[in-house]
Amino acid sequence: MRLRIFQVDAFTDRVFGGNPAAVCPLDSWLDDATMQAIAYENNLSETAFFVPAKGAYALRWFTPLAEVDLCGHATLASAHVVFHHVLPDADAVAFDTRSGRLDVVRGDDGLTMDFPALAAHPLDPPPADLAAGLGLEPIAAFGDMDYLALLETEAQVRAIEPDMTALARLDERRGIIVTAPGESADFVSRFFSPRMGVPEDPVTGSAHCMLAPFWAERLGKTTLRAYQASARGGTVHCTVAGERVRLTGSAVQYFEGTITV
């Protein structure tokens, strides 16, 4: 069987920046083992698969090791593929996912995704492996889908050299966010998920479902500019609207091809 595949760099306006995601449009679902094997072979943070559904597309995301409940950059990449290769005249697309209906709108400033807002619940005390894995004690720790470690400065976020073995022992949540106030953005972050086969994710849209409300409350503003300070780096524009978060970013296609499975 030959399948179309695209690789799209998300949350960037140039190739080799942002976060690369693979996207496979399908007419019908492959079996789960095959989709997981494709994701493992791609060896990217996520591979997305979507199939036509009534008035929308059903969308699923796989890391190299597991299917996940929510992914931002691969949703952005999937919308880019829809707008450029499936529905070129459309300005909006809806995806049905494990996290409910996710709408994406195409505008002059990029693609805007409507995602659920996640609360940051204080963890007191934080798990010991969090500080051990980061190599420093955070000011405070929080949790929801991921752990969130609050640091004092952007320089601390950039300087972290994590102990992936220690972080992988944090098995109750998907990954670990580290964040601090930004120097040229409202806040900065990095994201680690070794347990899911993603040691460091370059730009994690879904992490901003917790980051955006977290910083909106602290900064007293609902529109924020975020920067994920990985080696590739990427900007996420965030708007907090009650129980939803709108995440805006750009995307650039790197390649289009076929795979044989």
What positions carry a catalytic annotation?
46
Cβ neighbours of residue 88 closer than 8 Å, sequence gap 6 or more: none
d(CA 211, CA 142): 11
Q: Phi first, then psi: what are they for 166, rounded to 5°?
A: -65, -45
Structural tokens at position 224: 């924020």
Query: In 3D, which of 201, 184, 193 has the Cα closest to residue 72?
Result: 201
d(CA 143, CA 85): 38
d(CA 53, CA 50): 9
Cα distances from 76 to residues 9, 110, 115, 171, 213, in angstroms, run 9, 10, 11, 27, 20
Which long-range CB contacts under 8 A does 103-108 form with residues at least 24 apart?
104/75, 104/76, 104/79, 106/79, 107/248
CB-count exposure of residue 121 (10 Å: 0-12, 13-18, 19+): exposed
Q: What is the Cα Rg of the chain in Å?
A: 18
Q: Are 214 and 184 in contact (CB under 8 A)?
A: no
